[in-house]
Structure 1
Amino acid sequence: MLVTLKFCCPKEDDNLIAFYNVSDETASIPSSKNIVVDTPITIGKYFDFLDSIVHKYDSITPYKLSEHLLVRANSWIIDTLQNTDYYRMKARDSFVYNQKKMIVLPKGAVITIPDSITATKLLNSFRNTFIDINIPEFKLRIIKDSTNLFEFPIRVGRHEKKYLKMAGRVIDLKTETGHGFIVNHVRNPSYYNPANGRQYFATNRDDKKVTKLPQIPFIVTEINGVRNGQLIHPTTNPITLNKAYSNGCIGTKEADAWVIYYYAPIGTKINIRYDLNVIDEKGKKVTLKDIYGYNR
């Protein structure tokens, strides 16, 4: 029986960096540099490919090159990754059984290693960006300075307690509030059912189709100084968004998870709150449903 309620305890695979042939369009790095992809790269090989670029060029850039910096300087990559979302593909009448086999960097694609000015701007942007989550609003926002860059629907933890074999005890499933940081990324997560501790490899989609699980990074948080397994990760069942449905994690659409990942490098601040009084899109004051019964 397939598990569709996903509290995931991912493990990062210990993969060696795979090196790929790339064509250099320029010969030096004081300014921006273009790399031409000479063979199609699938999602299954995507992170190894980016790691190979970072490994090759980090020592000759006047700044610390990273995957996040590289992709943010090539925003078209994020757009392409978003479009591998199962439900976006379904809207195009395309069924995707194994997302890892989808090509995300086609042959001939050009990846630019940013110059120092661009890199500095992006690094400053990282430092001034934080994630804001309001639990009863079912919203995750990415905010830079005082500007709301993105707003995504989410699902949050259920208002109940349950025995989880993986924890070995009864757990309060409510998503916890507090302040903290992004402390890790799991780029190739493994999926486990926390109730029985069993690993699983496939999922029932909202349309009743069965697919393999996608490879989309999970974001590990530390809230109030504690790493309690409260992750930000995609759900393969977006019908559960805007609900208290998870085992404590913050679930998002697959497409949205890619944006959050690339706007939240390790060290990004995160604020998880429980505010019932908010301003809606029309500028009106709204009182949200007290889903956890805190104000009763």
Structure 2
Amino acid sequence: MHYVKTYAALWLYPTVLIWIMVMSNCKEKDLGAKLVSQDILKVEGKVPGSGLQSVLYTPPFEKLVTVAAYFCFIDSIVHQYDTAMDHLLTEHILVQANPWIIDSLAATDYYTMRSRGVLVKDQRTLTIFKKGDSLLIPNREQIAQIQRKLDSTWIDVNVPEFKLRIYEGNVLKYTFPVRVGQNRIRYLALVGRAVSLQTDLGSGHIYRIEREPYFINPVDGKHFTQTKRDDGIVTEMPLIPWLETEINGVRNGDMIHPTTNPTTLSKPWSNGCIGTSEADAWRIYYHAPVGTRVNIRYDLKVLGEGGDSIRLEDIYRRY
């Protein structure tokens, strides 16, 4: 039903965008920082990863690391320390053990920077790690604790409410505003037919993550790298991961991804994908590794802030 969404992932005003998988390039010249030492810096405790008493850190970084180099750099740390942790260490576990990384990445949001009086036209140039920074390397018990937390984490989206919630078991951890698919049929020249733009409903999971999306305009089929912001300024597209879902056993290309135009949040605006702010996209990413459960529902009756029952607008005219 939504074949086009394998290609067309979002609508970023004023341009319709497409997502195509592209492999990351982790060449040394792109790292922006020297790979960390093979040696583990043991601050206190016993053998690396032997118990909760051991506290391990990477050696201080010798150079700064930008957003452009971030994924290659973080991968290098996981690669070098994973063997000592019986191959249990992952990117998500490492970052969960160092939650300030998520805050630093979220702070690269274009509109957050603008609110601080800083105009950033290329988010990839911003610094994530400074010279002298160091990361905690979780031991085996800490890894197991974080993994259990990730295993219990799931995503809930209520389409007419324009809300995405992250739960750990039954505990609500985050609530984010989102935009959802439009209630209309649209012809896209790239696929040569009209398609429904509604967000698909049902249960499933995150089955693929693309950390470096590639964008093509489905109207003319041309690749592009820039976007027009809500304030009218044109910037480079930010480097932020996109999460692809499998819903009801179908991989139709629906994504959970950032939008560069947050004025479209809390509206039916996309080609079917679930759009978030740039900052929220980072937080969702680091709570939703591949396999994370996803529930997308359409409930019109919800509880308001005061605990009273309210009825939402039936944006898809289902009832």
Which residue is equivalent to 1:222? 246
In structure 1, C-alpha distance between the alignment counterparts of 2:243 and 2:218, rounded to whole Å = 18
Query: What is the Cα-based RMSD across aligned positions, in Å?
Result: 1.7
Cα deviation, residue 126, structure 1: 0.9
Which residue is equivalent to 1:26? 42
Which residue is equivalent to 1:78? 102
In structure 2, C-alpha distance between the alignment counterparts of 1:268 and 1:256, rounded to whole Å = 17
Which residue is equivalent to 2:170? 146
Which residue is equivalent to 1:44? 68
Distance 1:81 1:287, change over 3 A: same
In structure 1, C-alpha distance between the alignment counterparts of 2:313 and 2:222, rounded to whole Å = 35
Which residue is equivalent to 1:256? 280
1:136 aligns with 2:160: yes
Q: What whole-Å deviation, never above 9, does each CA across 1:36-95 have from its counterpart, x for those lacking one?
A: 222100000000001111111111113511111100100000000010000000000000
Written as runs of structure 1 = structure 2, the 5 A alignment for 1:168-247 is 168-247=192-271
In structure 2, C-alpha distance between the alignment counterparts of 1:262 and 1:205, rounded to whole Å = 25
Which residue is equivalent to 2:115? 91
In structure 1, C-alpha distance between the alignment counterparts of 2:127 and 2:26, rounded to whole Å = 21
Contact 2:35/2:73 (<8 A) preserved: no
In structure 1, C-alpha distance between the alignment counterparts of 2:186 and 2:126, rounded to whole Å = 37
Give 1:267's match in structure 2, choosing from 291, 296, 303: 291
In structure 2, C-alpha distance between the alignment counterparts of 1:164 and 1:225, rounded to whole Å = 25
More off after superposition, 123-132 vs 192-201: 192-201
**What code does the residue aligned with 1:11 have?**
M
- Give the TM-score taking structure 2 as reference length: 0.88
**What code does the residue aligned with 1:69 have?**
I
**What code does the residue aligned with 1:229 have?**
G
Structure 2 counterpart SS, 1:171? strand
Contact 2:13/2:261 (<8 A) preserved: no
Cα deviation, residue 14, structure 1: 4.2
Q: What whole-Å deviation, never above 9, does each CA across 1:159-183 have from its counterpart, x for those lacking one?
A: 1111123333211000010100101
More off after superposition, 45-54 vs 29-38: 29-38
**What code does the residue aligned with 1:105 have?**
F
Instruction: Count how many residue pairs are aligned between Structure 1 and Structure 2.
Output: 294
Contact 1:43/1:104 (<8 A) preserved: yes
Cα deviation, residue 221, structure 1: 0.6
Q: What whole-Å deviation, never above 9, does each CA across 1:213-252 have from its counterpart, x for those lacking one?
A: 0000000111111111110000000000000000111000
Cα deviation, residue 13, structure 1: 2.4
More off after superposition, 134-143 vs 192-201: 192-201
1:10 aligns with 2:17: no
Q: What whole-Å deviation, never above 9, does each CA across 1:107-134 have from its counterpart, x for those lacking one?
A: 1111111012211111001111100000
Contact 2:16/2:219 (<8 A) preserved: no
- Give the TM-score taking structure 1 as reference length: 0.95
Gap regions ≥5 residues in structure 2: 1-11
**What code does the residue aligned with 2:315 have?**
I
Cα deviation, residue 191, structure 1: 1.3
Give 2:141's match in structure 1, choosing from 112, 117, 120: 117
Distance 1:3 1:155, change over 3 A: closer
Cα deviation, residue 7, structure 1: 4.0
Structure 2 counterpart SS, 1:292? coil
Contact 1:6/1:235 (<8 A) preserved: no
**What code does the residue aligned with 1:25 have?**
L
